[in-house]
Amino acid sequence: MMTIEQVRKLKSLIALAFCTLAAFFGLFWLIFILGDVLIHGIGALNPSLFTNDPVPPGIEGGGLRNAFVGHLIITSFATLIGVPVGVLGGTFLAEYARGRKIARVISVLSDIMVSVPSIVIGTFIYAVLVKPVGHFSGWAGAVALAIIMIPVVLRTTEDMLSLVPWTLREAAFALGAPYYKVIIHVVYRAAAAGILTGILLSIARVVGETAPLLFTSFNNSFFSANMNGPVSSLTVTIFQYAMGPYSSWHSQAWAASLMITVFILVLTVLGRFILRWRYGKRPTI
């Protein structure tokens, strides 16, 4: 017969064991998925993947050069559009509108925008940038990705600027500096590491996006750097190749998946590392 204390201890032990099990369950999937991508991807990696354009199925030696280059171009332009808007917007919330109701509202709306389904943004861009001109374009894809980046960059910038002590600004004000000079020369410098982290994490966020590119930049089996026409991207190519019937397509899709995953994980870990090292906190996901 067990005493009541023993029953309580046993109950606690069982419950805590389940929690530990849950943690291992989560880790199990992480290792399973990453390991699977690694095993399938490494076997399919070869130099021609990066140097050759796709060839018809059945012919040896095809690659995904067009998709790598296209993806790089689309993401770069998205960053060029999204980062300035996000950083400036975050600056406004943390500086000029600090403590105002409008800052609070935009901040909350951005948090919601971060999680809005990316495919909805794809349909929106299709309606405003693809349908009126009558063809898919790399620009449409870049703008769609930029829209996803803006709220991410905006929110991290706002948070990071808010961490800069107010007295630092007052010291600069006391020297007679106008607010914009204080922001650029004092606040931005103090928060540089944090803003950079926000940018890194936002790039990591959009590099793996597929849904917003499906009907904006579409896909292109040929090498094309023309942003006014359809541009190939790695993620859309992965989708097309994985759903296709050829095993050569499948292995190329795995190789592309591995490259994207490694790139994103490096960015994410780097971003998290900077945040921990500089601010002792972790990013909100």
Partner 1 sequence: MRHKKNPVDLIFLLVSGLASLSVIALIVGILFTLISESSLSIEKFGLWGFISSTDWNPVKESFGAATNLFGTAITTVLSILIAVPVAIGIAIFVTEIAPNFLKGPIGAAIELLAAIPSIIYGMWGLFTLAPIMANYIEPALQKSIGSLPLVGMLFEGTPMGIDLLTASVILSIMIIPFTASISRDAFNLTPAVIKESAYALGATKWEVVRSIVLPYSKLGVFGGIVLSLGRALGETMAVAFVLGNNHQITSSLFDAAATITVTLANEFTEADTDIYLSSLFYLALLLFLMSFIILALAKFFILKAERKYP
Give me the least distance between CB of 103 and partner 1, in Å please: 8
CB of 69 to partner 1, least distance (A): 19
51 vs 273, beta carbon nearer partner 1: 273
Shortest distance, CB of residue 154 to partner 1, whole angstroms?
7
**Quick one: 39 or 192, whose CB is closer to partner 1?**
39
Task: Please tell me the number of Cα atoms within 13 Å of 22 on its side-chain side.
Answer: 6
| CA 211/CA 235 separation, integer angstroms | 9
Q: What does the chain come to in residues?
A: 285
- Nearer to partner 1 by C-beta: 51 or 170? 170
Quote the least distance from Cβ 227 to partner 1, whole Å. Answer: 19
Q: Between residues 10 and 51, which has the closer beta carbon with respect to partner 1? A: 10
Give yes or no for a contact between 156 and 90, defined as CB atoms under 8 angstroms apart: yes
How buried is residue 97: exposed, middle or buried, by Cβ count under 10 Å (0-12/13-18/19+)? middle
The least CB distance from residue 63 to partner 1, in Å, is 19
Nearer to partner 1, 59 or 112 (CB): 112
58 backbone φψ class: left, alpha, beta (φ>0; ψ -120 to 50): left
Residue 171 or 243: which CB sits closer to partner 1?
243
How large is the angle between the packed helices 138-162 and 192-207, nearest 10 degrees? 150
Are 163 and 279 within 8 A, CB to CB?
A: yes
CA–CA distances in Å: residue 248 to residues 34, 170, 192, 281, 283: 21, 63, 45, 44, 39
State the nearest-atom distance from the C-beta of 166 to partner 1, in Å. Answer: 14
Nearer to partner 1, 51 or 180 (CB): 180
> Based on CB atoms, which residue is closest to partner 1, 120 or 225?
120
Least Cβ distance, residue 84 to partner 1 (angstroms): 8
Say if residue 27 is exposed, middle or buried (CB neighbours under 10 Å; 0-12, 13-18, 19+). exposed
Contact indicator for 257, 238 with CB cutoff of 8 Å = yes
3-state secondary structure 123-150: HHHHHHHHCCCCCCCHHHHHHHHHHHHH
CB 5 to partner 1: min, Å: 9
